[in-house]
Amino acid sequence: MFDILIKNGTLVDGTGSEPLGGDVAVNDGRIVDVGGSITGQARRTIDADGAIVTPGWVDVHTHYDGQVSWDSEMAPSSHNGVTTVVMGNCGVGFAPSAPGNEKALIELMEGVEDIPGAALHEGMDWGSWETFPEYMDYIGEREYTLDVGAQIAHGAVRYYAMGERGRLNEDATAEDVEAMGAIVAEAIDAGAVGFSTSRTIGHRALWGEPVPGTFAADEELLAIARHMAPLKKGVFEMIPAGTVGELKALGGEKTTQQLEHELMRRFSIESGRPVTFTLVQSPDYDPNLWREILQMTAEANAGGAQMFPQVSSRPIGFLTGLSAYHAFMRKPTYIEKLADLPLAERVVAMREPSMKETLLAESDVRPEAPGSMENVYGLFKRAAAVMYPLGNPVNLEPTIDDTLGARAAASDRDPLEYLYDFMLEDGGTRFASLSTVDVPDRMNVLREMLIDENTVTGLSDAGAHVTLICDGTMPTTQLTYWSRDRKADGLPLEFIVNKQTGRNAALYGFDDRGTLEVGKRADINVIDHANLTVDAPVAHHDLPAGGTRLMQPVSGYLATLCNGVVTRDHDADTGERPGRLVRS
């Protein structure tokens, strides 16, 4: 008798092969038969007629490093068909952590990834670990809806090995470098699935300090590569300098993307390990620089490197609304009289003509912390005209006529004043997104990136930027947009599924999952592909210490299985927690 039998689905098996009709049988957490019509009894039968059956998504760029302490559901990833996540990206994490280092690591995570410091202080079990192997053991004792892989982050390593000198990005001595290499090797040996670093000055702690390791000498990273080499496991993940632009206001990046690429190539060659790095169309450089980086990657891989640019499936959008950051939040009157009011009362107060006049006229008070994401209020003021309202479902191909600026012009109004009124609609629950006004062109660029043979997909940042970016739905939008909703030159369903299952699993050496094959883990999605939807964000006040996070409602996942256990049933949490720590 089978534990679960999935019948009559369209199997998209994660290998890139064309979809085929058939069944999948599961026993003891493994796929025991797949394809054709499978006969036999089952404790549970799932009718997949009219649905697609895929492997569970493997999301390689998340930031659940704190959330694993307080949340077993692992939303939003679990809502989006993800069955394996990799956290510890961008050089920020919480282990190793010497006693007394907690505050600095929290402020680093809060500044870089916009996770509320109060939630991290209150929600995490500080004192339960010091070394990275102890952190792994802590996670290993917990249960989740999905499997969790952890990378060791350069920022935490440098602070642990060098103390304040490391946190403040002073040069490492030979002894420091050796100590860091040993710490990383210990972590990889204990099961860390990779090592991550950030090299962009745009990533800063709450009080403005760049991530430890931002300016590390090449030899510091290459020494870590040599420590990883004999272990023959683990991935190197990096945010290169220049990824998010030249950042002249912060003094400008200290090196070029081409030099960063050469450093990563050397890391891969010397470590023998795969390297994955963020690749976007940077706003401040040659608009075709990304093509040059892809060509350099192809040449490097032909020469023996293993380099995998990590690309997104849609433009990363900054969100604004009354439950998020917005253009009026640093007005003295807003801070004094409105900020702490319940949403409904705040909306009533802001609808008063005198209050509106005051908030539009007042000067702003800058946040005390220079690295706080609250500073984005200024960007929203400047960019009000080019923001897009988010509807249900979210339109991923808006035009310039859809912007708030175009709507304001049609009624002869100022864009900022129009944004003010827009945020009060529907009881203050409306959100707008800043991506860029050339979204169609951006989508064409992303398509070219996606189809490149060397790229992998990621950059969902799930668990991070909880009131600014809502990209944890990227696995779902990747599926719906590129294989169903793209108005022209969409991509084959089997290609998109492979890109976020088998391919990502192979990158991290998760060779027991990622495809629908006999013997593989039963990490499976049953999806109503025709009706799969992602709606506009909704504010939830469920973080520790009452913190707010934005999540987009998703519908169309008929079932999600992790390790052969149904964790989501018709978009609802079943309460089952079969997910565990996955070690390299």
Q: Check if the beta carbon of residue 375 is closer than 8 Å to that of residue 318.
A: no
Same domain, 463 and 380: no
Tokens of 498: 């492979």
Tokens of 189: 């040996």
pLDDT of residue 369: 96
Same domain, 428 and 300: no
Residues 499, 514: Cα–Cα separation, whole Å: 10
Residue 26 included in any domain: no
pLDDT of residue 249: 78
Residues 24, 11: Cα–Cα separation, whole Å: 9
Same domain, 306 and 338: no
Residue with tokens 């696995």: 475
Q: Hey, how many other C-beta atoms are within 10 angstroms of the C-beta on 307?
A: 24
Interhelix angle for 174-190 vs 132-140, to 10°? Answer: 20
The domain boundary residue, chosen from 405, 432, 459: 432
Beta bridge partners of 309: 277
Same domain, 95 and 118: yes
Length of the chain: 584
Half-sphere exposure of 562 (CA within 13 A, CB side): 31
Same domain, 328 and 202: no
Residue 250 included in any domain: yes
Residue 410 included in any domain: yes
What is the chain's Cα-based Rg?
23
What's the structural domain count of the chain?
2
pLDDT of residue 85: 98
Alpha-carbon distance values, 202 to 210, 246, 254, 309, 472 (Å): 8, 9, 12, 19, 21
Alpha-carbon distance values, 439 to 395, 482, 528 (Å): 11, 14, 27
Return the amino acid letter for 209: E
Q: Hey, how many other C-beta atoms are within 10 angstroms of the C-beta on 133?
A: 17
Residue 181 included in any domain: yes
DSSP three-state, residue 450:
helix
Same domain, 348 and 245: no
Residues 452, 238: Cα–Cα separation, whole Å: 19
Query: Which pairs count as long-range contacts for 35-38, CB under 8 Å and 24+ apart, including other chains?
Result: 35/11, 38/5, 38/7
Q: Nearest Cα to 419, choosing from 388, 443, 450?
A: 388
Same domain, 303 and 333: no
Residue 517 included in any domain: no
Per-residue pLDDT of 440-496, as tens digits, reads 688 999 999 999 999 999 999 999 999 999 999 999 999 999 999 998 899 999 999
Q: Nearest Cα to 513, choosing from 63, 57, 45, 19?
A: 57
Residues 129, 391: Cα–Cα separation, whole Å: 44
Same domain, 100 and 249: yes
Spans of the chain, pLDDT less than 50: none
Alpha helices in 191-330 (DSSP H): 218-228, 257-271, 289-302
Per-residue pLDDT of 481-537, as tens digits, reads 999 999 889 999 999 999 999 999 999 999 999 999 999 999 999 999 999 999 999
Residues 367, 364: Cα–Cα separation, whole Å: 9
The domain boundary residue, chosen from 373, 408, 432: 432
pLDDT of residue 437: 53
pLDDT of residue 439: 60
Same domain, 272 and 291: yes
DSSP string, 27-63: ETTEEEEESB---S-EEEEEE-TTSEEEEPEEE--B-
Same domain, 335 and 311: no
CATH number at residue 155: 3.20.20.140
Residue 421 included in any domain: yes
Tokens of 334: 């807003």
pLDDT of residue 436: 61
Q: What percent of the chain has pLDDT over 70?
A: 99
DSSP string, 56-74: PEEE--B--TTGGGT-SS-
Same domain, 258 and 162: yes
Residue 559 included in any domain: no
Residue with tokens 């895929």: 54
Q: Which structural domain, as residue segments, surrounds residue 287?
A: 90-317+438-467
Residue 24 included in any domain: no
3-state helix, strand, coil in the chain (%, to 5): 40, 20, 45
Same domain, 374 and 309: no
Give the N- to C-terminal CA distance of the chain in Å, as an integer. Answer: 33
Burial code (b: 16+ CB inside 10 Å, e: under 16) for 524-549 equals: bbbbbbeebebebbebeeebbeebeb
pLDDT of residue 49: 98
Residues 417, 356: Cα–Cα separation, whole Å: 9
SS3 labels along 173-227 = CHHHHHHHHHHHHHHHHHCCCEEEEECCCCCECCCCCECCCCCCCHHHHHHHHHH
Alpha helices in 362-492 (DSSP H): 377-382, 404-410, 415-423, 425-428, 439-451, 474-480
* Whole-prediction pTM: 0.97
